[in-house]
């Protein structure tokens, strides 16, 4: 253990003793020290220790009450959010969900007190929680979290479309995918079409060429393509896949472009447009050759 870490642990131990004597006086200071330690352990990749200290900070915040801990809770929520993201990257999904849920709970309290300051952060935490829940097939819970994120971002987008419209579109795309997984196909298609409309609106703004927006539009179009196909609308399915392929080519995502070309070829075959399907397979072959050339 490095001397700085040892010193920090000793400080926490001292604050723990003082906290036992006077929780009101030392609770916030102890939470702050635990947050700093958790943040440092996250940076070092020591996630078990980071989770231990963050969880202890949450316990103390509950013990002393929201009013006493309010000033330090935004930092605690931020650390838990970072920890949830890091844990997910190393496939510790259950722990990632637990950390993200704690962040949601804290930000929900903060948003009740000051919606303007914290509502957008609560929406971000809910969207992250929905993604993680869907990863482990907890679809109904994922839908609930993502729907709440959509509802919050819809409110935010009404107040400030430029800042939040694309985030609303991203959450709608996420919700559509989860609804599709739950076999709620008609709802999924409706949500995808709303996402597409929003992404088009954002992309049409003067000077708006951000890759994240074009990628979001492509993703929503791909979802709609599959959903149209399930609904038996092969013409709309083909049109959606075609536009998505063009966007993916524009932003230079050959891997996803290849996958979408395959879906487009299948759609053409279903419509018995065999010449079009053959041309698409040729395009896929050319794209595959580019992969091979790039790897040499």
Q: What is the pLDDT of residue 207?
A: 64
Mean pLDDT within 207-211: 70
Strand, helix or coil at 8?
Answer: helix
* Residues 38, 78: Cα–Cα separation, whole Å: 11
Q: What is the pLDDT of residue 291?
A: 65
Burial (CB count <10 Å: 0-12, 13-18, 19+), residue 275: exposed
Mean pLDDT within 149-155: 98
If you ran DSSP here, which 8-state letter would residue 2 be given?
-
Vertex 109: Cα angle to 106 and 113 (nearest 5): 140
Could you tell me which residues come within 8 angstroms of residue 178 by beta carbon, excluding any fewer than 6 positions away?
A: 130, 134, 139, 142, 143, 146
Who wins on pLDDT, 46 or 209? 46
Counting other chains too, the contacts that 27-31 makes at CB distance below 8 Å and 24 or more residues apart are 27/60, 27/61, 27/63, 27/64, 27/68, 27/69, 28/64, 28/68, 28/69, 28/71, 28/72, 30/57, 30/60, 31/57, 31/60, 31/61, 31/69, 31/72, 31/76
Q: Which domains does the chain have, with CATH numbers?
A: 1-113 (1.25.40.10)
Q: What is the pLDDT of residue 7?
A: 84
Q: What is the pLDDT of residue 68?
A: 82
Does position 6 have pLDDT exceeding 70, yes or no? no
* Residues 192, 85: Cα–Cα separation, whole Å: 26
What are the structure tokens assigned to 268, written together?
């053409």
Main-chain phi, psi angles of 279, to 5 degrees: -65, -35
Mean pLDDT within 30-57: 93
**Which alpha helices (DSSP H) does the chain contain, by range?**
3-21, 23-43, 47-64, 66-69, 73-89, 93-113, 115-135, 139-159, 161-181, 185-203, 211-230, 234-250, 254-270, 274-295
Could you tell me which residues come within 8 angstroms of residue 219 by beta carbon, excluding any fewer than 6 positions away?
A: 173, 244
Q: What is the pLDDT of residue 66?
A: 79
202 contacts 169 by C-beta, under 8 angstroms: yes
Mean pLDDT within 73-88: 95
Percentage of the residues of the chain whose pLDDT score is greater than 70: 95
* Residues 96, 102: Cα–Cα separation, whole Å: 10
156-197 residue pLDDT tens: 999 999 899 999 999 999 999 999 999 999 999 999 999 999
233-256 residue pLDDT tens: 999 999 999 999 999 999 999 999
Mean pLDDT within 142-152: 98
pLDDT category at 5 given cuts 50, 70, 90 is: low
Q: What is the pLDDT of residue 77?
A: 95
If you ran DSSP here, which 8-state letter would residue 253 be given?
-
CA atoms within 13 A on the CB side of 293: 6
275-294 residue pLDDT tens: 888 999 998 998 887 766 65
**Would you state the torsion angle of the CA atoms of residues 66, 70, 74, 76, taken in this order, to the nearest 10 degrees?**
-60
Answer yes or no: pTM beyond 0.75: yes
Mean pLDDT, the chain, integer:
92
């Amino acid at each position: 253990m490095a001397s700085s870490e040892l010193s920090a642990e000793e400080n926490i131990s001292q604050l723990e003793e003082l906290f036992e004597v006077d929780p009101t006086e030392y609770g916030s200071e102890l939470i702050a020290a635990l947050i700093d330690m958790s943040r440092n352990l996250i940076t070092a990749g020591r996630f078990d220790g980071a989770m231990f200290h963050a969880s202890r900070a949450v316990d103390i915040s509950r013990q002393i009450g929201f009013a006493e801990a309010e000033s330090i809770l935004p930092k605690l929520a931020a650390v838990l959010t970072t920890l949830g993201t890091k844990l997910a990257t190393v496939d510790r999904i259950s722990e990632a969900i637990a950390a993200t849920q704690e962040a949601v709970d804290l930000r929900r309290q903060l948003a009740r007190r000051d919606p303007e300051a914290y509502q957008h952060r609560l929406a971000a935490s809910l969207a992250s929680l929905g993604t993680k829940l869907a990863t482990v097939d907890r679809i109904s819970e994922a839908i609930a979290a993502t729907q709440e994120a959509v509802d919050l971002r819809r409110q935010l987008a009404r107040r400030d479309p430029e800042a939040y419209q694309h985030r609303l579109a991203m959450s709608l795309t996420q919700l559509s995918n989860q609804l599709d997984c739950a076999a709620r196909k008609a709802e999924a298609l409706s949500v995808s079409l709303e996402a597409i409309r929003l992404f088009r609106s954002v992309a049409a703004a003067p000077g708006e060429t951000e890759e994240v927006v074009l990628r979001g539009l492509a993703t929503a179009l791909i979802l709609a393509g599959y959903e149209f196909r399930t609904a038996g609308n092969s013409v709309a399915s083909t049109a959606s896949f075609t536009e998505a392929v063009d966007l993916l080519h524009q932003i230079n995502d050959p891997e996803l472009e290849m996958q979408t070309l395959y879906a487009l070829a299948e759609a053409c075959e279903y419509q018995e447009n065999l010449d079009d399907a053959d041309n698409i397979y040729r395009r896929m072959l050319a794209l595959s050759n580019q992969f091979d050339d790039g790897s040499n």
